[in-house]
Amino acid sequence: MTPSPTPHPTSSSGAPAGRSPLRGLASRGRDEAHRVASPLELFFDLCFVVAISQAGVQLVHAVAGGHTGEGILNYAMIFFAIWWAWMNFTWFASAYDNDDTLYRVVTLVQIAGVLVLAAGVSQAFQEHDFVAVWLGYVIMRLAMVAQWLRAALSTEGAERTTALRYAGGVLACQVGWLGLLVLPEGARPWVFLVMAVLEMCVPPFAEKDRPTSWHPHQISERYGLFTIIVLGESVAAATVAVKSGIDEHDALGEVLPIAVGGLLIVFAAWWIYFVVPIHGHLRSNRQAFLWGYGHYLIFASAAAIGAGLEVAVEQTVGKTELSTLAGSAAVTLPTALYLLTVWALHSRYYKVGIAQQLVLPTTALLVIACTFLGDLAVPAAGVVCALAVAVGTTLTARTARRGHGQGGTAGPAGTSATESPDGDASGGTASTPAG
């Protein structure tokens, strides 16, 4: 186990205290008390959701216009750029945030980069022009390189090597992304695939000798807050679509079932994600890379639910020539993907017994089956998700009662309070995607 660095003195905001506008960017302790998301991090998240919103809008246009395959590909590419830059900063900040002036300025540069990327989303979707998206991504990544170089200057030994590997790896990848601009359009999916894999290889390479000192509670909070923001964006997108259907087409009766079903889906998505204290799993598990990387599917599918609800409304009021089946699938498929991914990465570690383990996979299959119910597909999917929450809550309560009846203290799904869900003592150190 890598020893935890000595914690910095912290201010009331959770950032290291001190009056100097420039301080060393040394690593923070993994066991600091009261680590929470800072106001700068919350601002960072909100600005990144602007780009996610733009990607969702263009996905709606592409699907409604009959270009589903192309739209999904562009959405996957652009969402990766947004998510990867967000995730890299999140893990870095958990380990190195010193909240000095230069740290804040460089973080604001990253925010400027995602806004540039957001401004180029429509051109990328409609005209296949990725210049603005590429430029925004490069701005964010160069700012990240600057942060890692600062960390290298403030540390020594294996920790400095880790920081320099991150800086060099991130910088080298930016050269490869030029392929999106200079290679033929048909080669772009392959450029994306190769470069995405190379980008994700940087953190394991950088941290092979010394993991960064991320904070489990703070990381789980950051991911949870971003999930809330993305789900909130889905609610906002669906609300605008329903309002448009009512105002422009006087179709309250037609869109109301979609609105109710959509709300049930989003409410269930929130409940399912936050029913378990995932920081316990992060503290003890050696698969933190898988957990962090897997959230690409969680975030992307959560945002796509909102886009799907917009498509379903447009199909219902006749603004698109899509079939009812296609309009329903735009909601049910991302919902099923969300449920399966949350179960695989998040919930299954806290489930006891076959019944609890089968709730979310079965729900995902039933949601897919709802696709074929015509106009009732979305409300039916919403009811299925709500029932899944009710069943899961009931099963967990029964397990907890049995645990108390046997004289033990039950955790989220009957696990011991002193033991992690996978049987390890808490407190282990895991290599994580801090790049």
pLDDT mean values, one per 10 residues, the chain (435 residues): 43 49 72 81 92 91 88 92 94 88 94 95 90 95 95 89 94 92 88 94 90 85 92 87 81 86 94 80 68 92 93 88 91 95 82 83 95 93 94 77 56 38 39 52
Which pLDDT belongs to residue 28? 76
Decide if 313 is inside a domain: yes
d(CA 176, CA 179): 6
Number of neighbours of residue 105 by Cβ within 10 angstroms: 12
Domain assignment of residue 23, yes or no:
no
pLDDT of residue 286: 62
For residue 78, give the nearest of 178, 192, 225, 200 by alpha carbon.
192
Q: How far is CA 215 from CA 236, 264, 384, in A?
A: 31, 33, 36
Considering the domain architecture, whether residues 101 and 221 belong to the same structural domain is answered as no
Which structural domain, as residue segments, surrounds residue 58? 39-214
Same domain? 233 vs 190: no
Considering the domain architecture, whether residues 137 and 246 belong to the same structural domain is answered as no
As a whole number of angstroms, the distance between CA 124 and CA 80 comes to: 14
Residue pair 139/179 in contact (Cβ under 8 Å)? The answer is no
Q: Which of 182, 214, 246 is the last residue in one of the domains?
A: 214
Domain boundary among 183, 214, 245: 214
pLDDT value of residue 373: 94
pLDDT for the residue numbered 410:
43
Q: Both 334 and 347 in a single domain? A: yes
Count how many domains the chain has: 2
* 419 Rama class: left (phi>0) / alpha (psi -120 to 50) / beta: beta
The pLDDT value given to residue 291: 87
96 and 237 together in one domain:
no
**Would residue 34 count as lying in a domain?**
no
Beta-ladder partners of 416: 410
> Could you tell me if 234 and 347 lie in one domain?
yes
Cα distance between residue 236 and residue 393, in whole Å: 27
Q: Could you tell me if residue 430 is inside a domain? A: no
Q: What is the pTM of this model?
A: 0.84
33 CB-contact burial (10 Å; exposed 0-12 / middle 13-18 / buried 19+): exposed
pLDDT for 91 equals 92
Task: Give domain status of residue 427, yes or no.
Answer: no
Rounded CA-CA distance 18/189 in Å is 47
Residue 20 within a domain: no
Q: Is residue 429 part of a domain?
A: no
